[in-house]
Amino acid sequence: MDSRKYTPVDPFKLEIQLLKAIEEDSNHKREDAAKFRAAGQSKNYEEFRDIVKAAHLKPLEKKDSLRHLKIGLVSWNRTAKRGCWRSDIDKSLSATTNNFESPAEDVLNAPMMQRDFEQHWASLSNFDKRITLLQRVIDIDSFFVGKDLSIDVTESLIKALLESLDPKNALPSREKVNFVLKVMISISSSSRFSLNLQLLSDQGRENIRNLLNMVTELLEEETDLVNSKEVVRDLTNKYNCW
């Protein structure tokens, strides 16, 4: 007589597993199709990545409005509530500013993962708003380092930082220089920093050199910022910009 015990099949659990497998298969097919499409449309890795990441998004209809859309927070943090939305950040970015206002605490209370940051970043076309987004999440010391989020170096990010110090847009200030240094330090702390550097185009590397050179020139006018000058030298070594 067979003494083995058989566990009865739970139809409900089986259905959930089946639906999950179907969904994962559909996601893989969408991403594969997006990769082929991105290979022919994108000019660099950043554009390729954005197209692939947007494969699951449904195109907006004419009747749709961004004002009525809610962006859900995706996080592995168990303390994050399911009903938590990042509408506060979207509202705070609606007004363009050149003065880098300090972020409100409630904007930073909800955890932000790399994916959340990239989605917000990609949705903004104005460099002022992108800088404002960075300012609001990096204003807390070492917020990116060792926390949920580290910034990947991308050409659009470097270009936005470069434009933020361009005298044509606004006169550079000590606060802006310190802010740029914070971002550059956070970028260099990313686990994918070396890989991202390799994926940059020649123009992207040139923009990094121009950015660090501009920061160096601005620091030359500040004799009391010796530590900042040392930071720039360290960053120049990390970014291989000699």
- Per-residue pLDDT reduced to its tens digit, 66-88: 444 444 444 434 344 444 434 44
Q: Which pLDDT tens digit goes with each residue over 138-148?
A: 554 444 444 44
Asked if 118 and 87 count as a contact pair (C-beta separation under 8 A), the reply is: no
Mean of all residue pLDDT scores within the chain = 65
CA angle, corner 52, sides to 63 and 70, nearest 5? Answer: 40
| Domain-embedded: residue 191 | yes
Are residues 206 and 140 part of one domain?
yes
101 band by pLDDT with thresholds 50, 70 and 90: very low
Mean pLDDT in residue range 177-199: 80
106 band by pLDDT with thresholds 50, 70 and 90: very low
Contacts for 226 with CB less than 8 Å, ≥ 6 apart: none
Are residues 169 and 89 part of one domain?
yes
Mean pLDDT in residue range 35-46: 68
Our count of domains for the chain comes to 2
| Domain-embedded: residue 66 | no
Q: Which residues pair with 85 in a beta bridge?
A: 72
- Cα–Cα distance measured from residue 183 to residue 41, given in angstroms and rounded to the nearest whole number: 30
First to last CA, the chain: 79
58 band by pLDDT with thresholds 50, 70 and 90: low
> Which residue intervals of the chain are DSSP H helices?
11-41, 45-53, 87-92, 105-109, 114-123, 127-138, 155-164, 174-188, 193-199, 202-220, 226-238
Domain that holds residue 23: 9-57
Are residues 108 and 153 part of one domain?
yes
| Domain-embedded: residue 62 | no
| Domain-embedded: residue 63 | no
Are residues 221 and 117 part of one domain?
yes
Are residues 102 and 52 part of one domain?
no
| Domain-embedded: residue 132 | yes
Amino acid at 138: I
Are residues 87 and 26 part of one domain?
no
- Cα–Cα distance measured from residue 229 to residue 216, given in angstroms and rounded to the nearest whole number: 7
Residue 126 has pLDDT above 80, yes or no: no
Q: What proportion of the chain, given as a percentage, has pLDDT over 70?
A: 48
Are residues 90 and 53 part of one domain?
no
60 band by pLDDT with thresholds 50, 70 and 90: very low
pTM score, two decimals?
0.45
Place of tokens 């954005």: 50
Nearest by Cα to 149 from 192, 106, 179: 192
Q: Which two tokens stand for residue 181?
A: 């240094």
Residue 137 has pLDDT above 80, yes or no: no
Are residues 226 and 114 part of one domain?
yes
CA angle, corner 219, sides to 150 and 234, nearest 5? Answer: 45
| Domain-embedded: residue 64 | no
Are residues 95 and 41 part of one domain?
no
